[in-house]
Amino acid sequence: MAQGRGKRRNGGAMKGGIDDLAIFGAPPAFREKLYVGRPNIGDRERLLARINDLIDRKWLTNNGPYVQEFERRVADSLGVKHCISMCNGTVALEIATRALGLTGEVIVPSFTFVATAHALQWQEITPVFCDIQPETFTFAHARVEEMITPRTTGIIGVHLWGRPCDVEALTGIARRRRLRLLFDAAHAFGCSHQGRMIGQFGDAEILSFHATKFLNTFEGGAVLTGDDALARKIRLMKNFGFSGYDDVVYIGINGKMSEVAAAMGLTGLESIDDFIGANRRNYALYRDGLSGIPGIRPVLYDERERCNYQYVVLEVDEASSGVGRDTLVDVLHAENVIARRYFHPGAHRMEPYRSCFPHAGLVLPVTERLTRRVLSLPTGTSIGADEIREICAILRLAVANAPGLGARLGAVPPSR
Ligand SMILES: Cc1ncc(COP(=O)(O)O)c(C=O)c1O
């Protein structure tokens, strides 16, 4: 597997002073851009053999053998009865939402990728944005209860960055208030909660296998559920409602995963341990390399659980670091480290939600604060230890020189 072994690093010593920063005109630390979410790719020969095979077979889509095998393997590895593969995670959310009969209002976090909200609004269901807990970045369940109205039909919890929601609290609320419970587990393939794999909770959970995700199928997704009737309905819905060659028994759309996507997924599944190993090593390197920098707090994973370590996220407390999150992102971008502000500014500040619900921020104080403080750093199989050490050194240098940085950047035009 291709590992980044410092190949892209510009030669010479690490940056030692503020004048060495690329934002002030010095050469960038890396010749090529380092991206968040560079795809994890398994064994190329195995993938190409599968692609040759499916071309020989001339079975490219419509529940082919690779799709069936991929569904079986995912279901088995997560200990869930049904895995229904999809063309992407957004369609998986839309179909699951519809199959669960959600209407009216559904409670969701705003601190998520906008697809969680769009999947509802696309179907004219109102996403009601609920605040999160500052420690976990997932639903504040006491707030969830307060957002329920007579129009509420469901709750969608998001296992953000693969860190599980408070599943027990949400399950209790859903049961007591007779609501459907769906989890957006787009980030959480291979993660567990209290020893049980994500995928086993709620009425259903959805996965994304987008290229940037821990396990990818180029584009792809899945719905996971233990409910036979729901699984059958979802299978019909994702294939135009066809139950036989020419018998349509239900309204449906096209949510099918292709054979080539499943071939990619099966190949990736064979390298899961390598992907986790690389991510885990990177996470530990960042955690150690950033320790002691004032105001920079890596978001930690619970190491007693299974975890994919796919996201390296920092929370920046400007009062302690002396440098704001956005300035650090500018400094990193200048060095060709394309850090991302996931999930800034929060779905409630994006269209159509910011126009429809201009006051949503009033009930989202934690979301509003955290969207201004987080940044994600490159990890995965295409970045090496030297590169991570250099990224940490750049952050350390920026914070150590916060006053000088601030003063000089006052004169530099903002990059975004
Ligand atoms: C939390 C979350 N939900 C849903 C999605 C949508 O998945 P997809 O891109 O596969 O449609 C994504 C990511 O892309 C995501 O991060």
Dist. CA 124 → ligand 1 center (Å): 19
| Class of the domain covering 18-37+271-339+378-409 | alpha beta
Q: Is the shortest distance between the CB of 275 and ligand 1 below 6 Å? A: no
pLDDT, mean of residues 61-87:
98
Q: What local confidence, expressed as pLDDT, does residue 2 receive?
A: 43
Q: Going along 112-203, which residue ranges are E strands? A: 126-130, 152-158, 180-184, 192-193, 196-197
- Give the model's confidence band at 1: pLDDT under 50 very low, under 70 low, under 90 confident, else very high: very low
| Class of the domain covering 44-270 | alpha beta
Dist. CA 188 → ligand 1 center (Å): 11
Dist. CA 169 → ligand 1 center (Å): 24
pLDDT, mean of residues 84-99:
98
- Give the model's confidence band at 9: pLDDT under 50 very low, under 70 low, under 90 confident, else very high: low
In tens, the pLDDT along 248-304 reads: 998 999 999 999 999 999 999 999 999 999 999 999 999 999 999 999 999 999 999
Nearest CA to ligand 1 atom 8: 89
- pTM for the complete prediction? 0.96
pLDDT, mean of residues 394-415:
84
Q: d(Cα 353, Cα 250) in Å, to the nearest integer?
A: 31
Mean pLDDT of the chain: 95
- Give the model's confidence band at 406: pLDDT under 50 very low, under 70 low, under 90 confident, else very high: confident
Q: d(Cα 321, Cα 298) in Å, to the nearest integer?
A: 13
Contact 233, 223 (CB under 8 A): no
Task: Locate 174 and state its tokens.
Answer: 């859903």
- Ligand 1 pocket test, candidate residues 90, 97, 212, most atoms within 8 A of CB: 90
Q: What angle do CA 140, 146, 147 make, to 5 degrees?
A: 90
Dist. CA 92 → ligand 1 center (Å): 10
Q: Going along 10-125, which residue ranges are E strands? A: 34-35, 82-86, 105-109
In tens, the pLDDT along 36-48 reads: 999 999 999 999 9
Closest CA to 393 of 325, 291, 281: 291
Q: What local confidence, expressed as pLDDT, does residue 413 receive?
A: 52
Atom of ligand 1 lying closest to residue 112 CA:
1
Q: d(Cα 205, Cα 184) in Å, to the nearest integer?
A: 6
Is the pLDDT assigned to residue 412 strictly greater than 60? no
Closest CA to 394 of 331, 339, 330: 331
Q: Is the shortest distance between the CB of 267 and ligand 1 below 6 Å? A: no
Q: Going along 160-309, which residue ranges are E strands? A: 180-184, 192-193, 196-197, 204-208, 221-225, 296-298
Cβ-in-10-Å burial (0-12, 13-18, 19+) of 386 comes to middle
Q: Is the shortest distance between the CB of 259 and ligand 1 below 6 Å? A: no
Dist. CA 29 → ligand 1 center (Å): 31
Q: How many residues in total does the chain contain?
A: 416
Q: What local confidence, expressed as pLDDT, does residue 5 receive?
A: 45
Among 14-28, 62-76, 241-255, 400-414, where is mean pLDDT lowest? 400-414
pLDDT, mean of residues 361-380:
97
Dist. CA 108 → ligand 1 center (Å): 14
Q: Is the shortest distance between the CB of 208 and ligand 1 below 6 Å? A: yes
Q: d(Cα 184, Cα 91) in Å, to the nearest integer?
A: 12
CA dihedral over 198, 200, 201, 207, signed as positive or negative: positive
CA–CA distances in Å: residue 377 to residues 95, 123, 138, 158, 392: 32, 34, 20, 20, 10
Q: Going along 39-100, which residue ranges are E strands? A: 82-86
Atom of ligand 1 lying closest to residue 212 CA:
14
Dist. CA 80 → ligand 1 center (Å): 21
Dist. CA 214 → ligand 1 center (Å): 12
Q: d(Cα 121, Cα 262) in Å, to the nearest integer?
A: 29
- Ligand 1 pocket test, candidate residues 210, 218, 344, most atoms within 8 A of CB: 210
Q: Is the shortest distance between the CB of 382 and ligand 1 below 6 Å? A: no
CA dihedral over 228, 159, 255, 80, signed as positive or negative: negative
Closest CA to 235 of 219, 247, 250: 250
Q: What local confidence, expressed as pLDDT, does residue 13 receive?
A: 74
Q: d(Cα 209, Cα 159) in Å, to the nearest integer?
A: 15
Cis bond before residue 365 (omega within 30° of 0): no
Q: Is the shortest distance between the CB of 257 and ligand 1 below 6 Å? A: no
For the chain, the structural domain boundaries read 18-37+271-339+378-409, 44-270
In tens, the pLDDT along 212-226 reads: 999 999 999 999 999
Q: d(Cα 261, Cα 267) in Å, to the nearest integer?
A: 10
Q: What are phi and psi of 401, to 5 degrees?
A: -110, 30
pLDDT, mean of residues 319-333:
97
Q: What local confidence, expressed as pLDDT, does residue 411 receive?
A: 62
pLDDT, mean of residues 84-103:
98
Q: What local confidence, expressed as pLDDT, does residue 4 receive?
A: 44
